[in-house]
Chain A
Amino acid sequence: MLRLESVTKRYPTGDMALRDIDLTVPQGQVMALIGPSGAGKSTLIRCINRLVEPTAGEIWLGDQEITRLSARSLRHMRRRIGMIFQEYALVERLTVMENVLSGQLGYVNFWQSWFRRFPQPIVDEAFRLLHRVGLPDFPDKRADALSGGQRQRVGIARALLQNPELLLVDEPTASLDPKTARQIMRLITELAHERGLAVIINIHDVPLAQQFAQRIVGLRAGEIVYDGPPDGLISEVLTDIYGEEDWSTAAEDDNAAATLPTAIEAR
């Protein structure tokens, strides 16, 4: 459903963030993108909805090519791609409901957004989604009054209100405690299965990725170095992704080993 063909991104500073990325994500697949900081994970998912402009290559969503779209068609394309952010990216001074409804901004006209006059079926759907993500009680609360986990749930509801075909998720759990992180990952993957969405999740936490994703792609210095099932992440592969020195010291460290049980089992 999503197909990247030799996508390359070079930043104006000369840094090569992505080199010739080829990647296909079928419908309904939850794919985790792992790799060290600076490997190009964020750049990759931002290239897909062109928050970052790729330098070269083609990106196909269904039968439409994204990189050559005009501004107007790009906005229409973005409605089909939901995005969930690390720091939630809510508009803090707006209410929960306003934040969720902002998922529909690609569909309503300017005056409707200015006066917050969203069609009733959309408001119904927003209430349903808030209920589904576990926040039925405070649509009128301001977003800055919520906890981190609650904010991320609002972020998920906002992305789903777009009724997307593809979900881009950027480090959804990096600012959350371990328990909340698991709940959020479970919620995202459940919703993806319910709706048959393709999902790309950037994530630092390898065990969490292994637990919730069907497929793992490892990125290193802008290149794909691993693409396979979660249980294929043996320590040699992790060394490949994260680099020899860092990995070997972390694996021999007892504390780090405790957080990477599957990697130890695989040895």
Chain B
Amino acid sequence: MPVQTVNGVQVWQRRDRVGAFKHWLGWLVGTLIFLGCWHIISEATTWAFVWDAPQQGGQLLSRMIPPRWSYLNQLWQPLWDTLNIATLGTILSVAIALPLSFLAARNTTPHPIARAIALVVIVTSRSVNSLIWALLLVAIIGPGVLAGVLSIALRSIGFLGKLFSEAIEEIDQLPVEAITATGASEFSILTYGIVPQVLPTFAGVSVFRWDVNIRESTVLGLVGAGGIGISLSASVNGLQWSQVSVIFIAIFAMVFLSEWVSATVRKSII
């Protein structure tokens, strides 16, 4: 009871005696757990390596500078591949996620079983990282851009399907009722009453996913699925740090550009 009567006067405190004790006990236990964890991590760390980290980092940086700009000429093709992996993967996933989301949305699904299947597909796709999809696909269909495109698409289907279907479930039902009342067919209700309501969300989410996919496709090359990641892993393995810095700058420029494109597109479709 925060309100107590002391000497006939009503006093208000945030917590009563027991509450305050529990509060402080909570903080005490939390601090002890934190210190315990810190101790375990400290035991498992080779501190000698950490102490000379600034030195090591400085050396790495000095090997990266100046960047070997001439290497850029060999990067155009991998950069183009990376852009294609992201773009084609996104287009493919949008094409699959569109019908999937209408099956998965509670208000448009034709049957509860169809909805359950669609939700399983979405969860499966979402639970696996695109790098792991790439690892699997490189083993199945061999290294190259195709494996990259498919792994990006497989990961994105779940992301897009989930956000699309949520957008469908959040629409205003009244216009849908009005279109139904005109005697329109199920498909006309969909295209006339529902699609205009969800179109801005669909477009915005797709462009955002494309933006994310550009970043994800830069690392797919590490497992052989094409793109600039191949050049990156080759340069790192060959200790060519001045090339690595060129790759970093190129990736940064591309991500920056995609950020700008997606922001512009999203602004224009609301």
Co-assembled chains A and B: yes
B-contacting residues of A (Cβ < 8 Å)?
A: 49, 51, 74-79, 81-83, 85, 87, 89-94, 102-108, 110, 113-114, 155, 158, 162, 168
* Majority SS at the chain A contact face: mixed
User: For the complex, is B192 an interface residue (Cβ under 8 Å from A)?
Assistant: yes
Select one of A82, A87, A107, A113 contacting B191, CB under 8 A. Answer: A113
A-contacting residues of B (Cβ < 8 Å)?
A: 172, 174-175, 177-185, 187-189, 191-193, 196-197, 199-200
- Cβ of A102 and Cβ of B182 under 8 Å apart? yes
* Least distance between B178 CB and chain A CB atoms (Å): 4
- Cβ of A89 and Cβ of B183 under 8 Å apart? no
> How far, in whole Å, are A64 and B25 apart by their CA atoms in the complex?
76
- Cβ of B184 and Cβ of A102 under 8 Å apart? yes
- Given contacts A91-B196, A93-B196, whether A79 and B174 have CB atoms under 8 Å apart is no
- Cβ of B178 and Cβ of A105 under 8 Å apart? no
> How far, in whole Å, are A222 and B191 apart by their CA atoms in the complex?
36
> How far, in whole Å, are A266 and B182 apart by their CA atoms in the complex?
41
* Least distance between A14 CB and chain B CB atoms (Å): 23
Select one of A51, A76, A79, A81 contacting B177, CB under 8 A. Answer: A51
- Cβ of A91 and Cβ of B188 under 8 Å apart? no
> How far, in whole Å, are A81 and B182 apart by their CA atoms in the complex?
7
- Cβ of B188 and Cβ of A110 under 8 Å apart? yes
Q: Residue of A at shortest CB range from B193?
A: A91
Chain A residue contacts of B187, Cβ below 8 A: 110, 113
Chain A residue contacts of B192, Cβ below 8 A: 91, 94, 102, 105, 113
- Cβ of B197 and Cβ of A93 under 8 Å apart? yes
- Cβ of A87 and Cβ of B183 under 8 Å apart? no
- Cβ of B184 and Cβ of A75 under 8 Å apart? yes
Chain A residue contacts of B199, Cβ below 8 A: 93
A to B CB contacts below 8 Å, 12 in the list: A51-B181, A78-B182, A91-B192, A93-B199, A102-B192, A105-B185, A110-B185, A110-B187, A113-B184, A113-B188, A113-B191, A168-B181
